[in-house]
Each structure stands twice: as C-alpha cells, then as structure tokens.
Amino acid sequence: MPLARPVSDSTVVITGASSGIGTATAYALARRGCTVVLAARTEPALHAVARGCDELGGRALVVPTDITDPVAVERLAASAVAQFGRIDAWINNAAVGVVGLFDEIPVTEFRRVLEVDLLGTAYGMRAALPHLDAGGGGVVVNNASVLAEVAMPYQSAYNAAKHGIRGLADTVRQELRLTGRGNISICTVLPAAIDTPFFRHAANHSGRMLAPPPPVYPPEMVAETIVRLLRRPRREAYAGGAARLIGLQWRLAPALAERALAWYAHRTQFGPAARLDSPGNVFRPAGEAVPEGGWHGRRRQLIRMTAALGLAAARSAVGTVTAIARQRRDAR
C-alpha cells in the first residue's frame, strides 16, 4: 500500500540524512512540502540539511542518532511522533563500508559494518512498524545496493550486510501479510555506484585511493526512486541502468558474471597507490553535509570500461568453454 496521505502531508524519517543520498532524499521530499525527520550522528551537518529543507518548503526535525543503538532508534521514532503526531514512512539509508581483502580487514571494522548496515536497518524497521501500523499503514524503504544481489571483491562486510537487508525485507514483508498488516509496504532499493562521499568515508585497507566503479549516477536519481516508491511501493527497485544490467547478468549466468564483475571491480574501484590504512567513518562520523562526492568524471569512463567488461566476459566465456572441453577430453 502507498502512503496513506499525499507526500506533502506526510512525515518521513530518514537515517543517514547528514550526507549523500540521505541529504538528496531529504531535499527531494522537502521540495514536495513533506515533513522530514533527519537522523545521523553528525548534529551540525543535520542542522545544515534541515535549513536546506526549510528553504525548499518542507519542515524538518533533527534527531542525532547512532543507529547501532536500538534504544536511540526507538527514541528517534518517539521524537518524530511526539513532534508531528505520526510516522508515514521510514527510510533506512545510513550505512558505512570497509574496503580490503576479507582476511585483512580488521575484525572490529567487519563487525561494525554489519552492525550499522544490517542491524541498524533491522532496528529501524522494528521502531517504525508499530507507528506505521497505528497510523493505518505506510512504507518502509531500505536503501540497500545492487551489492545486495551481486558481489564485488574487497567489499565482503558490505556485501554480506546488504544481502542480509534483502533477506530481512523479504521475510518481514511475508510476516506483515500473514499478520493482517499488509498495509505496510517494505521496499528495497538497489542502486548502482552513486556520486556521494561514500568512497571518501569508507574504511580503507587496500593500500590504494578508493573510487566508485563507473558509471556513477547522481544521488538525486536515487532520491527520486525513493519518492516514487513512497507513492507506488514495489518489492524492489533498481536505481541506475547499470544496476539493472548487472542484476540481470547475475541471474542469467552467475558464475560468468561473478568472474567478469571481479575483473571489472579490481580495475575500477581503486585510484593511485596510497599509504592509507584508515577506519574512515565506520566508528566516528566524517561530518559532511554534501549530497555529492565529486565523481562525475567517472561517468565518462563508461564506454572504455564497458568495452573492458565485454572483453572480461569474453575471456571468461573462452575460459569456461576451454575448461568444459578439457573436462570432456579427460573423461574420455
């Protein structure tokens, strides 16, 4: 079921609103006259976003929240209801990442990524459901990633957390239907690489500068996808044609797509070598109230990289055919 009332009349909680896609979503909703409740750890950045929302014609409440604390997340929901009387939608958007080989990432950072990305989303859903139910229904949007469906090397904790979000959403959707609460919609967004500060914020143990693999799309595109889901909820929505394409490849030929994506990501998600070994914003916030990351240029690399991806796919196809032929010859 969509929002019980128009977006302009709705109250929407957004986690991770202090930067990137969360900020862009707050602005997209504020522009439509919506009331937004902004949560993240960095209070000054949230106030800057709130001022932006006011200027765009919306109303905003700032509730500094660390989403790894379930009590704080309950408090976020209670503050929204105390101030505006109800919650119509809840957007679980906050996340952090750690980049490096699985067995070289510090275990504390691996665990924290799961706590923020997966458990933080679970706490958000738990806090939202009773209020959405009390209001006669509503929408939960979990901003996952195309990495909830496919996998990319050097991002094991993030991939695992995002795959978990998808499973969690599917289960809760089933349970809501079974318990007569089908008027609450649970939607999962699967964006491609987005131009936000995420790659500057991520913990980094790769020994290289990080960069989003092209093509890179603007955060406003994900924000508009989220607004559409509030109006017409769907189980899942890709954001960015590249995400749809990679998802399709993965479903059609998983082994081949896995090899091709590994080859592609290995060559595109790193910049120059750097003696960096940083926990990024995993434990402490970076404090930027900007929607964009400054990666537009990487869109131009699309044609070059698409050609490279085609070459990788062709190489692994040849490899697979050769292996099958060798197996058959050995079996004879």
Ligand X SMILES: NC(=O)c1ccc[n+]([C@@H]2O[C@H](COP(=O)([O-])OP(=O)(O)OC[C@H]3O[C@@H](n4cnc5c(N)ncnc54)[C@H](OP(=O)(O)O)[C@@H]3O)[C@@H](O)[C@H]2O)c1
Residue list 300-319, contact with ligand X (CB under 6 A): none
Q: Is residue 66 a contact point for ligand X (CB under 6 A)?
A: yes
Contact code string over 19-48 relative to ligand X, x by CB under 6 A: xxxx-----------------xxx--x---
As measured in angstroms, the least distance from the Cβ of 111 to ligand X is: 13
CB nearer to ligand X: give 28 or 40: 40
Do β-strands 89-92 and 59-62 pair in parallel, antiparallel, or remain unpaired? unpaired
CB–CB of 207/106 below 8 Å? no
- The reply to whether 158 belongs to the active site is yes
**Joined tokens for residue 158:** 């993030």
How many other C-beta atoms are found inside a 10 Å radius of the C-beta of residue 4?
A: 17
Decide whether 17 or 77 has the Cβ nearer to ligand X. Answer: 17
Question: Smaller CB distance to ligand X: residue 43 or 133?
Answer: 43
241 phi-psi bin (left φ>0, alpha ψ -120 to 50, beta other): alpha
Dump strand ranges (E) for 7-121: 11-15, 35-39, 59-62, 89-92, 98-99
The backbone torsions φ and ψ at residue 42, rounded to the nearest 5 degrees and listed phi first, read -90, 100
Residue in 76, 10, 70, 86 with CA at minimum distance from that of residue 46: 76
**Residue from the set 10, 35, 145, 188 that interacts with ligand X by CB under 6 A:** 145
Residue of 27, 158, 238, 264 with catalytic role: 158
Question: CB-hemisphere CA count at 13 Å for 75?
Answer: 13
Stretch that binds ligand X, among 191-199, 249-257, 268-276, 297-305 (CB under 6 A): 191-199
Q: Please identify which residue in 3, 11, 12, 16 interacts with ligand X, judged by CB under 6 A.
A: 16
Task: Kindly indicate which of the ranges 66-74, 133-141, 170-178, 244-252 contains the residues binding ligand X, using the contact rule CB under 6 A.
Answer: 66-74
DSSP string over 264-290: HHHHHSEEEE----B-TTSSS------
Binding of residue 80 to ligand X (CB under 6 A) = no
Pick the binder of ligand X from 124, 191, 214, 247 (CB under 6 A).
Answer: 191
Closest CB 196 distance from ligand X, rounded Å:
3
Q: Taking CB under 6 A as the rule, which mask of x and - marks residues 194-233 in contact with ligand X?
A: x-xxx--x----------x---------------------
Number of residues engaging ligand X in binding (CB under 6 A): 34
Long-range contacts from 40-44, C-beta under 8 angstroms, 24+ separation: 40/15, 40/16, 40/64, 40/65, 40/94, 40/285, 41/65, 41/66, 41/284, 41/285, 42/18, 42/285, 42/286, 42/287, 42/289, 44/287, 44/289
Q: Which is nearer to ligand X, 173 or 298 (CB)?
A: 298
Q: In the complex with ligand X, which residue's Cβ is closer, 137 or 146? A: 146
161 is an interface residue for ligand X by CB under 6 A: no
Give the span between the Cα atoms of 140 and 77, in whole angstroms: 13
Q: Which of 93, 159, 185, 206 binds ligand X (CB under 6 A)?
A: 93
Q: Is 188 in the site for ligand X (CB under 6 A)?
A: no
Residue 68 interacting with ligand X (CB under 6 A): yes
The residues that bridge with 189 in the sheet, in sequence order, are 143, 237
Query: Is 105 in contact with 36 (CB distance < 8 Å)?
Result: no
Number of Cβ atoms within 10 Å of the Cβ of 184: 24
Under the rule (CB under 6 A), what is the footprint of ligand X? Answer: 15-22, 40-42, 45, 65-68, 93-96, 116, 143, 145, 191, 193-194, 196-198, 201, 212, 281, 285-286
Active site residues: 158
